[in-house]
Amino acid sequence: MPDASDTKTHFAGRFLNLVSKNGWEFATRTGSTGVVAIVAITDDDHVLLVEQFRPPVGKFVIEIPAGLAGDIAGSESEAFAEAARRELLEETGYAAASMRELQTGPSSAGLTDELITFFEASRLTKVDEGGGDDSESITVHAIPRAELRAWLTQQAASGKLIDPKIGAALWMAGR
Amino acid sequence: MPDASDTKTHFAGRFLNLVSKNGWEFATRTGSTGVVAIVAITDDDHVLLVEQFRPPVGKFVIEIPAGLAGDIAGSESEAFAEAARRELLEETGYAAASMRELQTGPSSAGLTDELITFFEASRLTKVDEGGGDDSESITVHAIPRAELRAWLTQQAASGKLIDPKIGAALWMAGR
């Protein structure tokens, strides 16, 4: 959330506000402290991806697991790693013995104050089916890392959108 | 822009609207057809980055050159490549003999319908100082590709934000 002092709220929604600061309009999420996104790589070198319909873009989007971080007691860094574990388990059904923080950056710095904290998850164990919470309908894909570029090209050709955060997280992780 | 049929506009700003579609709130830009982002690599293997203060996040952000694409006569693909050439020249002062389209993806598919089309620019010639148009104040950095990760880590440690699109574009370009 931006400083209230010099910020004007033009519309307050349930999940999103439209505000301006010194005349610069942007969107800001309500009710969360940030966003976490997780590139998860299995012991046999598969990358876990999720697919879901995204109303704003009106298409199915292939993404890395991601979600909102809430207000959890403890340090902000610990809370984000905890949120990353929760989101990974919820969306893919995998528990991670290792969750390494990579980098925090803006998703679209001219349009929103949203910041995404990236993690690399490894030493994974499948403990559940995944698929998201009750409000979500998520398909899980486990793609061999060596075949990922070709697979993404196929998916894009079939009309799906590919989230640039997939490549961003892999580059950050040195993969 | 989303379909008008099932979309409700809650606030219409100068640059950004807040709308909802079947109850899903999101931000949508006005007056542009898309966003282009360019990873530009010089013949001596330096990556061109831009730095500017971004009001929504309240910090200086290190990014690849990027900007809005307008309504230019001709095919949409040609228009985006043309916008990419313009933005690269305007922000960095470099003209590109090669502009290769990489991929189009959402910047934050739950929050906005914004789509970014990535390009890789090469065979560069410095023809101007760059720095953006009259409304922008942009610092240009040319960083040796082999030193890029270390340099970005230093920049983040000094309080700047690193745009994940840097890594996304390099990964897409196979760099």
| Minimal C-alpha gap between B95 and chain A (Å) | 24
Using 50, 70 and 90 to split pLDDT, how confident is the model at A168? very high
The pLDDT value recorded for residue A169 is 98
Amino acid identity for residue A71 in this structure: D
Which chain B residues are Cβ-neighbours of A17 within 8 angstroms?
Answer: 18
Element (H, E) at A35: strand A34-40
ipTM: 0.92
> Any long-range contacts for A69-76 (C-beta under 8 Å, 24+ apart)?
A69/A32, A69/A33, A69/A34, A69/A35, A69/A36, A69/A117, A70/A31, A70/A32, A70/A33, A71/A33, A76/A33
| Minimal C-alpha gap between B54 and chain A (Å) | 6
Distances (CA, A) of A100 to A94, A119, B29: 15, 5, 35
The pLDDT value recorded for residue B101 is 96
* In chain A, domain spans: 1-31, 32-172
In this model, does residue B6 exceed pLDDT 70? yes
Spatial CA neighbour of B42 closest among B114, B124, B119: B124
The pLDDT value recorded for residue A78 is 57
A24 bridge partner residues = A21
Distance, CA of A52 to CA of B104 (rounded, Å)? 17
Percent pLDDT > 90 in chain A is 81
User: With a threshold of 0.80, does the pTM exceed it?
Assistant: yes
| Minimal C-alpha gap between A62 and chain B (Å) | 10
A112 closest CB neighbour out of B10, B56, B104:
B56
**What stretches of chain B show up as alpha helix (H) in DSSP?**
76-92, 148-157, 165-172
Pick the CATH number of B32-172 from 3.20.20.70, 3.30.70.270, 3.40.50.10420, 3.90.79.10: 3.90.79.10
The pLDDT value recorded for residue A81 is 93
pLDDT in tens, B125-141: 999 988 877 777 899 99
Pairwise CB contact (< 8 Å): A116 & B56: no
pLDDT in tens, A66-86: 999 984 545 455 589 999 999
Distances (CA, A) of B124 to A124, A136, B100: 44, 45, 13
3-state secondary structure (DSSP) of residue B76: helix
3-state secondary structure (DSSP) of residue A124: strand
